[in-house]
């Protein structure tokens, strides 16, 4: 059982607390911190938390807790991590780890040097369907992974600081792209080095400085492409979908709008439909277990079980650092309009991977390119002659 200090009382703090207190949990949030006294008192009352404070240091060093969860605006992650390290407590930090790779690297170094347990709260990697899909991919159901698209778009975030580039470090890329990039890494393989990034970013709709839309391609050493699509301009709710292609298979995951729950109402849904829903009448697509669908439940289970068992969690500060480095390259590419290398001074994965397309032997003289069943019932083969390289077809 753990007693937890929760830093932050916004939407993410609320979701985290709800999850930590949820179901038949043996863990509790015992201290909560927020800058504003009125908010933090209310939060402590709503979630039955014994201690509250507007002093972050006090919250972190409070003798009743052994874990610090950071659910603060991005520019406060680094000071909070350092304070937790000084207090010698386990620290879990919300996504993105830093506003850029330098900040993330300092946090990584701090926890590693001090030897405190640290977890990166990348929740979307932990949705049950994602975990199962990653396991199937690892077991070879897709063959060699070629491409992973992760899309997260909605009409924009709910707190002011997200929209302020200085505090957040950027727009939709920093807010949402961090999820997409890490999802792709999990499918492509964390051991595979991200080499370079091409990214388009624009402020298409909102009167802000940061980008509200972006599409990026991350090229990995295996030849695989991780594609991220993020936007604060999407209409219709929240769109969370992943698609993975491999030489032997395909995975499509839908996390939000089309997950088997559909409602038409002329009367109107009086309650809350789901996060970022845009209508209360007509066809609605509620999500049953939002915390589960977003991965919060499995994420905290992994973090706390790992802490108990002295093992590394699935998502570490090192992963957060890699994601930040990829996002940095994305921002550079959006400026330079060309592919930009991913700078990783500290790379811990494999150095070389063979990405060569493998030839499938058809017979002594030919490679098989493909076969297809035709409308007339015949099967057609496309072959490549080994000696000449000529391409020929053959009907069976």
Which residues neighbour 388 within 8 Å (Cβ) at sequence distance 6 or greater? none
Give the residue, chosen from 80, 174, 180, 215, that forms a contact with a copy of itself under the rule CB under 8 A.
215
Q: Is 86 in the site for a copy of itself (CB under 8 A)?
A: no
Residue written as token pair 């393989």: 189
Please give the Cα distance from 77 to 103 (Å, whole number): 9
Q: Is 225 in the site for a copy of itself (CB under 8 A)?
A: yes
Please give the Cα distance from 48 to 32 (Å, whole number): 10
- Rounded to 5 degrees, what are φ and ψ at 263? -140, 130
Instruction: Considering only residues 157 through 196, tell me which ones interact with a copy of itself, judged by CB under 8 A.
Output: 157-160, 163-164
Instruction: Considering only residues 323 through 342, tell me which ones interact with a copy of itself, judged by CB under 8 A.
Output: 337-339
Q: Is 228 in the site for a copy of itself (CB under 8 A)?
A: no
Which residues neighbour 323 within 8 Å (Cβ) at sequence distance 6 or greater? 95, 96, 97, 104, 122, 178, 181, 182, 185
Q: Is 73 in the site for a copy of itself (CB under 8 A)?
A: no
Q: Is 197 in the site for a copy of itself (CB under 8 A)?
A: no
Instruction: Considering only residues 136 through 155, tell me which ones interact with a copy of itself, judged by CB under 8 A.
Output: 136, 139-143, 146-147, 149, 153, 155
Tell me, residue by residue from 119 to 138, as one string, x for binding to a copy of itself by CB under 8 A and - for no binding: --------xxxxxxx-xx--
Give the residue, chosen from 200, 332, 349, 353, that forms a contact with a copy of itself under the rule CB under 8 A.
200
Min CB(80)–a copy of itself separation in Å: 21
Burial of 390 (0-12, 13-18, 19+ CB in 10 A): exposed
Note whether 44 and 32 are within 8 A (CB).
yes
Among left, alpha and beta (phi > 0; psi -120 to 50; other), residue 94 is beta
Among left, alpha and beta (phi > 0; psi -120 to 50; other), residue 48 is left
Give the residue, chosen from 45, 263, 341, 350, that forms a contact with a copy of itself under the rule CB under 8 A.
263
Please give the Cα distance from 30 to 100 (Å, whole number): 31
Q: Is 283 in the site for a copy of itself (CB under 8 A)?
A: yes
Min CB(13)–a copy of itself separation in Å: 12
Give the residue, chosen from 58, 102, 191, 248, that forms a contact with a copy of itself under the rule CB under 8 A.
248
Give the residue, chosen from 34, 94, 213, 306, that forms a contact with a copy of itself under the rule CB under 8 A.
213
Please give the Cα distance from 356 to 350 (Å, whole number): 16
Give the residue, chosen from 35, 75, 82, 219, that forms a contact with a copy of itself under the rule CB under 8 A.
219
């Amino acid at each position: 059982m753990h007693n937890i200090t929760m830093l932050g009382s916004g939407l993410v703090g609320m979701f985290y607390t709800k999850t930590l207190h949820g179901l038949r949990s043996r863990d509790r949030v015992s201290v909560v911190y927020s800058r504003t006294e009125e908010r933090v008192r209310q939060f402590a009352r709503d979630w039955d938390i014994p201690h509250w404070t507007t002093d972050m240091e006090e919250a972190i060093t409070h003798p009743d807790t052994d874990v610090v969860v950071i659910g603060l605006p991005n520019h406060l992650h680094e000071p909070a991590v350092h304070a937790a390290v000084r207090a010698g407590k386990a620290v879990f930090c919300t996504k993105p780890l830093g506003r850029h790779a330098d900040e993330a690297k300092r946090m990584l170094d701090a926890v590693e040097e001090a030897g405190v347990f640290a977890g990166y709260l990348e929740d979307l990697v932990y949705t049950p369907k994602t975990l199962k899909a990653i396991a199937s991919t690892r077991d070879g159901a897709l063959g060699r992974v070629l491409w992973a698209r992760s899309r997260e778009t909605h009409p924009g975030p709910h707190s002011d600081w997200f929209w302020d580039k200085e505090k957040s470090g950027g727009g939709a890329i920093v807010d949402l792209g961090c999820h997409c990039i890490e999802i792709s890494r999990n499918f492509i393989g964390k051991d595979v080095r991200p080499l370079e990034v091409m990214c388009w970013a624009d402020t298409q709709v909102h009167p802000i400085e940061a980008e509200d839309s972006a599409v990026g391609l991350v090229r990995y050493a295996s030849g695989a492409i991780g594609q991220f699509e993020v936007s604060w301009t999407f209409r219709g709710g929240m769109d969370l979908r992943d698609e993975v292609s491999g030489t032997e298979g395909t995975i499509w995951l839908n996390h939000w709008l089309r997950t088997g729950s559909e409602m038409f109402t002329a009367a109107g849904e009086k309650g809350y439909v789901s996060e970022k829903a845009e209508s209360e009448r007509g066809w609605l697509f509620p999500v049953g277990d939002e915390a589960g669908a977003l991965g919060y439940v499995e994420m905290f289970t992994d973090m706390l079980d790992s802490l108990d068992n002295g093992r590394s969690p699935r998502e570490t500060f090192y992963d957060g650092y890699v994601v930040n480095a990829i996002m940095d390259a994305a921002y550079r590419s959006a400026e330079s309009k060309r592919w930009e290398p991913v700078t990783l001074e500290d790379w811990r994965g494999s150095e070389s991977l063979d990405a060569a397309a493998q030839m499938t032997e058809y017979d002594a003289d030919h490679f098989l390119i493909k076969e297809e069943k035709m409308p007339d019932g015949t099967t057609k083969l496309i072959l490549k002659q080994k000696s000449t390289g000529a391409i020929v077809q053959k009907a069976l």
